[in-house]
Amino acid sequence: MSGFAGASIAEIATIVLLSLFYGESESGLGGRLVLFGGFVLLLLVVALVIVGVEHVHRISAALVRLMDTSAQIRVRGTVLLLGLLLVAASQLGLEAILGAFVAGVILRVTDRDAAMTHTGFHHKLEAVGFGVFIPFFFVASGLRFDVDALFASGSTIAMIPIFLAALLAARGLPALVYRRLLPGRQILPAALLQATSVSFIVVATTIGVELGTIGEGTAAAFVAAGLLSVVVFPLGALVLLRGSAGPAGGPRAAVAPRVAAR
């Protein structure tokens, strides 16, 4: 769990920094900080409104009554929240990925469902996310992937293993912090799992190309390294975890599928 917490903090920090330093606003860093502060205030207001609505008995009862009907009120409300925060982030000159990310955070914090009235809600969101939004994101990213620029020269192809090693160093080495929390044999698998990244790389390289700070070949090589990390690193982590479980299995044998599911 410590590894996943560290990886989550890293994702949050990089998304915020990406929006602050490379957002669409032309007002400079100070202006972006002000806009980001306004966005944070908006998030607090939205979270308070959601919590207030949840505590109004009539509204809460209506939500429970309509959530499993054709209205699917909670799913539609989540999509509405996502759309509003995407628009708000875009209008404030921040990256849309920040709006999408914080929509999930707000939902996670405010909709805890202590009474267990909508246990299937998260499964429905996973169906919508993994079945609709995420495929569209990767299809659009694949259409923008410049294969010609990637194979234009041998030096560009040579960047792929360099970027892959850089991912492992930048995102994997911090797993050494978990030495006191995890058994020694699980440190390397944790490092491999948290070094896996592709969606953020796609967004960051797209922004870099638009700003003219990196070339299309470099961006394509970085995305290719991210794709390889998704395939190679989790596979290596699973092999290591199964090897550490020993031939008889035991408690550690059950760790691999749970880690892989994340």
pLDDT digit string, tens, across residues 94-123: 767 777 778 887 887 777 665 555 667 878
Q: Model confidence over 199-256: pLDDT tens digits? A: 788 888 888 888 788 899 999 999 999 999 988 998 998 888 887 665 544 444 444 4
DSSP conformational letter for 92? T
The pTM is what?
0.64
Q: With the C-alpha atoms ordered 162, 163, 164, 170, is the resulting torsion angle positive or negative?
A: positive
Q: What is the dihedral of CA 107, 24, 225, 232, to 10 degrees?
A: 0
Contact 95, 18 (CB under 8 A): yes
The count of C-alpha atoms lying within 13 angstroms of the C-alpha of 172, restricted to the half-sphere facing its C-beta, is: 23
Least confident of 44-48, 58-62, 87-91, 245-249: 245-249
Name every residue whose Cβ is closer than 8 Å to that of residue 183 and which is 6 or more positions away in sequence. 244
- Average predicted confidence (pLDDT) for the chain: 77
> What's the average model confidence in pLDDT over 128-134?
80
Report the C-alpha gap between 121 and 113 in whole angstroms. 10
Asked if 231 contacts 160 with a C-beta cutoff of 8 angstroms, the reply is: no
Q: Kindly state the tokens that stand for 215.
A: 């070339």
pLDDT tens-digit profile of 35-51? 778 878 888 888 888 87
pLDDT of residue 261: 42
**Amino acid 119: pLDDT:** 67
How far is residue 241's CA from residue 252's CA, in Å, rounded to a whole number?
A: 7
pLDDT of amino acid 159 = 94
Q: Is the pLDDT of residue 64 over 90?
A: no
- What does DSSP assign to residue 183? -
* Angle made by CA atoms 47, 108, 82, in degrees to the nearest 5: 65
